[in-house]
Amino acid sequence: MEGRQLTRQTSVKRSVFAAACALTCVAVVGCGSSSKVSPASLQPRLLPGSDVPGFVVERKLDWSDPVNLVGEGLFLPEATRPSSAVREFTDAHFKGGAGQWLIRGRGGENEAEARLGVAQFQSAADANHVRDWMHNEDLTQPCYSQCIFSPAPATIAGAPGVRFVVQTGHVPPPPKGAHVPPGARVGMGPATFLAEFTIGPRLYWAALHANPAAQSRFEAGMKLYYAHAKETV
């Protein structure tokens, strides 16, 4: 008799323990704290390098760690500490990311470098939060002190969801009497183009450092990127 009661008590304890484990597992899955997204699964969401005329893919990057993402994928103002950028991603429940560097005209006058990235978060609200933070960073003067760049917001026709900033560079005019090559833009320096958009829990961005004449090409590329991202949902 005592043996039966002991067996019944043990059975009840096991049932309670199993139920508690099940509830714990549901809670963990529900909050998404332990789930990660493979960078390889995000690579196809990037705009293919073949869709960007004149550019070649220099490097593909897997970002399972937000530290690497910040160091390799973002153009941040010099006044922004990398640790604060990492915190923005981790606090927004960063799950994984992927990126690529594109380059054109290596070493020449028309040299340009573009960086594309995609990151996945726990929710659309998290992705929007980081998008807004990045956009505010884009509007911040990139240099720590004096700077030749002047950031200003812009729009891209046909892509209303894209946050876009142009950091225009200005250089001192040449001395009086100095030779100026035909067609040269006097007083105009290089420019940096920065843009972000979100689709669901994913944040997409692109940055291009080139001459000011590249703006129209950057805008066309962002429209292609936006359309590609929507197709791969």
Question: Which is more confidently placed, 222 or 29?
Answer: 222
pLDDT computed for residue 179 by the predictor: 60
Q: Where are the alpha helices (DSSP H) in the chain?
A: 2-31, 39-42, 66-73, 82-91, 124-138, 215-231
Q: Which of 37-41, 109-113, 186-190 has the lowest mean pLDDT?
A: 186-190
Reading the block at residue 202, the tokens are 């994913």
Domain positions in the chain are 1-35, 36-231
* Residue 93: pLDDT band with limits 50, 70, 90: very high
Spatial strand order of the sheet with 202-210 comes to 56-63, 94-104, 112-121, 202-210, 188-199, 163-170, 149-154
pLDDT mean over 220-233: 91
pTM, two decimals, is 0.78
CA dist., res. 33 & res. 24, Å (int): 12
Question: Which is more confidently placed, 162 or 25?
Answer: 162
- Nearest Cα residue to 86 out of 120, 33, 152, 130: 130
User: Is the domain 36-231 a CATH 2.60.120.10 member?
Assistant: no
pLDDT mean over 64-81: 95
Q: For residue 198, what are the CA distances in angstroms to 51, 93, 125, 140, 226?
A: 20, 15, 10, 21, 9
pLDDT computed for residue 31 by the predictor: 38
pLDDT computed for residue 10 by the predictor: 44
Between strands 163-170 and 94-104, the pairing is unpaired
In this predicted structure, the answer to whether residue 65 has a pLDDT above a threshold of 70 is yes
- Nearest Cα residue to 32 out of 73, 93, 83, 91: 93
